[in-house]
Structure 1
Amino acid sequence: MKRRLIGFAVTLAVLGAGWYGFQLQYPAAKTGRACSGMLSVDPVLDLAGKSQLSLLGLGFDVSSWQFDVSDDVEEPAGLATRCIVDGVEISIETTAGAHNAYGVYTFQRDQNSFSMPLNAGWQGLMATDRDEATASVLLSCKNWTQKEGSGILVAADSPYDVEVTEAIRLKLARAVTGTAQRAAEKTGCVTELGDEGKLTAPPATARTVLADDATGTCKGMTSESKVQETDAARSPVEECVLVGGLQLTAEYGPFSDRSDAVVNGKYGGHDTPSGVDRSTAWTSATCQGALGIGYYHASPVEGSDRKFTSDPLTKEERADLEHFAKQSAARHGCGAPAALPS
């Protein structure tokens, strides 16, 4: 009898270990371990097309790895990290020294693929380009210095080979905001979050309207009669196209301090707070927390061969850039933008 009891106990232990090992292969378990355990599991699984209750982990591929954002940043344990969950790529890092602000984007400054703001109080954006969408959320951590990373940047893209519908855009928005919240909890980041319950799918494209009818990022522009704009929100990238004239862009934090700026200057790659060169007119403002420097710039629209050195900004164009910068800086709680050189 004693031998039987021992054998029965051993059998139960083996079965329990086997069952536990089987559970570790569930898609939910695999996802929960990826990206240093910082993913919001349910929204990420939903985006990847898997149910939380799925028991079929075979063929559900997950990979994860860590990297350093900068030698000057002492990031919290677990950051920076990147993972791929069944075709969904996600990166989570500190905003200071970030590598991936534009790293997973498909639009790459393409005038036809605007960065659209997330809503519901989130400081984030989404861009849709044919068969892929990408999204980012920026969180300022009130208890972190720049040495500790200033804040959290989460970037994610939609699954490979999946049509980017309104439903997919909403799932992507939920995945990136949920992961930002989870990362803040895991790292002890004290921050302000948006409202998960009020998220909607951002539009896929900007709207083209008469300048007099603009109510968003192009509100108040006068140098051209027609504009392309998005809603005005606290997005880390804002855009306005003056059709036939200029493309205006505002970039904050890691989006203005991307890798070329680290080498060439903190004002979007320039050394001075404002100026005009061959292809760019710019100004900047000082912001709080992870927003860092607000960088506001104008360039000729795509396809134009205009050079500001030989064909400088008109009085109306200068006024539009200054107005665009002032409006955006005020939305983000930044100081007054630097004056453009005369």
Structure 2
Amino acid sequence: MGIAALTLYSTGAYASWRDQRSLDSACDGTLAQGGLDAALNSTHARARADDPDYLASCLINRPDTRQHGGALQIRLRWSNQSATLAALAPFGQNANGVKGQAAPLGSGWPGVIRYDGTAQVVVALDCQNAKGKALLAYGDLIRWPEDAEATGPVLTGLGRVTTETAQKAADKYGCLAKGGTRLTHVSEPTPPRSMAPRSLATAQGSCTGLRGIAGQAAEAGVPDAVAYPEDTDTPQVNCYLFTPDKKPGYGLYAYYGALAKDFQSSDSLEHTDDYASATAHCPRSAQEAVFVLYRLYDRETDSYPVTHYSDQFARAALKTFAAHEAKLRGCTGVHLASSP
């Protein structure tokens, strides 16, 4: 072996060159590397092709993943292709306490972040030149970098990698889409044990529209609420109504665009007894928006915090929630489905 080659191997330069090449070609050449250092808490990463069921998919990890963690997966798909079981799985958590929660990414991005031990960012870019079609990008932090000192930078890095890869992929595949600005801070959804419900009568953000039925909510056993930042770009909106003993009793969800389509293709409502649903037509998408209210189950106590489900209250709350959401986004024709 030549002296130059020996030098490359002995100094690790060859490994670094090889790993950088793997990043440059990852996810069909669409992997955006901004934010990657923060997501993995390392300046050194490598990638390889991953799941063949997607338009493109890649696994990125640190060379020392086994010792310190730090691995993420990026997957891309078109909204007009059947969603995989992995893409539909989060919808099945909606009636399980607050496990179905997601917070908006912010900065103008049509995306959400889910965080429940593991972290996932989902971005849905509508193709302006192909109505009814969107590019979806999923960023999953499948192994947390254990040497990271704070959560915020890691989640923000994951958000940057996912959003910027989505935009880069849209450009590559001919999807004329408008994303947001560079993410500088991503707020995680509130951990269940840290939730601090406030009176629904003074609720802000995603629960604002329900303030007018605060009296009915109190009579139904859910006087308080946990809300999320109001964001008209996010494809998923949550509002949770809480009992006086700080247990989530009802969960309200709004889905838009590609996420609404995926929700409707899932079977999450088929395994739930106590819920109400509605739809509306929105100007940004050919896909109907979907609004759902669930009575929530508490896994810690194996019981329902709201003992008696009120269909009358559920439909009133959902109608109010959907009407407020529709007004914010210019949607029309809110229609409540018949009771299940």
Scaled to the shorter chain, the TM-score interval is 0.7 to 0.9
The counterpart of 1:31, out of the listed 12, 23, 28, is: 23
Instruction: Tell me which moved more, 201-210 or 279-288.
Output: 201-210
Is 2:60 the partner of 1:85? yes
Report the alpha carbon displacement of residue 98 of structure 1 after superposing the two structures with TM.
3.2
- 1:327 corresponding residue in structure 2: 324
On the 8 A contact 1:102/1:255 being kept in 2, the answer is no
Q: In structure 1, what residue type is equivalent to 2:188?
A: P
Secondary structure at the aligned position of 1:158 is classed as strand
Deviation digits for residues 63-101 of structure 1 (CA, Å, limit 9, x no counterpart):
214645xxxxxxxxxx61111111211111112233377
Matches within 5 A, 1:193-208: 193-196=179-182, 199-205=184-190, 208=197
Instruction: Name the CA distance, whole Å, in 1 between partners of 2:35 and 2:251.
Output: 35
Is 2:97 the partner of 1:99? no
Change (3 A) 1:220 1:256: closer
Instruction: Name the CA distance, whole Å, in 2 between partners of 1:122 and 1:169.
Output: 15
Q: In structure 2, what residue type is equivalent to 1:284?
A: T
On the 8 A contact 1:28/1:41 being kept in 2, the answer is no
Is 2:303 the partner of 1:299? no
Deviation digits for residues 111-132 of structure 1 (CA, Å, limit 9, x no counterpart):
33420111111111111113x2
Change (3 A) 1:180 1:100: farther
Report the alpha carbon displacement of residue 327 of structure 1 after superposing the two structures with TM.
2.1
Report the alpha carbon displacement of residue 289 of structure 1 after superposing the two structures with TM.
5.5
On the 8 A contact 2:278/2:334 being kept in 1, the answer is yes
Q: In structure 2, what residue type is equivalent to 1:211?
A: L
Change (3 A) 1:158 1:306: closer
User: Normalized against structure 2, the TM-score is what?
Assistant: 0.74
Instruction: Name the CA distance, whole Å, in 1 between partners of 2:79 and 2:31.
Output: 18
Report the alpha carbon displacement of residue 236 of structure 1 after superposing the two structures with TM.
1.4
Secondary structure at the aligned position of 1:42 is classed as coil
Instruction: Name the CA distance, whole Å, in 1 between partners of 2:315 and 2:37.
Output: 47
Report the alpha carbon displacement of residue 269 of structure 1 after superposing the two structures with TM.
6.2
Instruction: Name the CA distance, whole Å, in 2 between partners of 1:28 and 1:189.
Output: 27
Is 2:105 the partner of 1:118? yes
- 2:277 corresponding residue in structure 1: 282
On the 8 A contact 2:126/2:134 being kept in 1, the answer is yes
Show structure 1 runs of 5+ residues with no match: 1-10, 55-59, 69-78, 271-276
Instruction: Name the CA distance, whole Å, in 2 between partners of 1:319 and 1:122.
Output: 31
- 1:137 corresponding residue in structure 2: 123
The counterpart of 1:313, out of the listed 311, 314, 321, is: 311
Instruction: Name the CA distance, whole Å, in 1 between partners of 2:179 and 2:330.
Output: 16
Show structure 2 runs of 5+ residues with no match: 62-70, 244-248
Matches within 5 A, 1:251-290: 251-258=255-262, 261-262=264-265, 278-288=273-283
On the 8 A contact 2:297/2:305 being kept in 1, the answer is no
- 2:41 corresponding residue in structure 1: 49
Report the alpha carbon displacement of residue 340 of structure 1 after superposing the two structures with TM.
4.9
- 1:75 corresponding residue in structure 2: none
Secondary structure at the aligned position of 1:174 is classed as helix
Instruction: Name the CA distance, whole Å, in 1 between partners of 2:293 and 2:164.
Output: 34
- 1:160 corresponding residue in structure 2: 143
- 2:169 corresponding residue in structure 1: 183
On the 8 A contact 1:23/1:29 being kept in 2, the answer is no
- 1:211 corresponding residue in structure 2: 200
- 2:160 corresponding residue in structure 1: 174
Aligned-residue CA RMSD (Å): 3.6
Q: In structure 2, what residue type is equivalent to 1:91?
A: R
On the 8 A contact 2:112/2:121 being kept in 1, the answer is yes
Greater relative contact order, per chain length (Cα 8 Å cut-off, separation 6+):
2
The runs of at least 4 aligned residues of structure 1 exceeding 6 Å deviation read none
On the 8 A contact 1:283/1:339 being kept in 2, the answer is yes
Instruction: Name the CA distance, whole Å, in 1 between partners of 2:293 and 2:311.
Output: 10
Change (3 A) 1:152 1:162: same
**Which of the two has higher C-alpha Rg?**
1
Instruction: Name the CA distance, whole Å, in 2 between partners of 1:331 and 1:66.
Output: 37
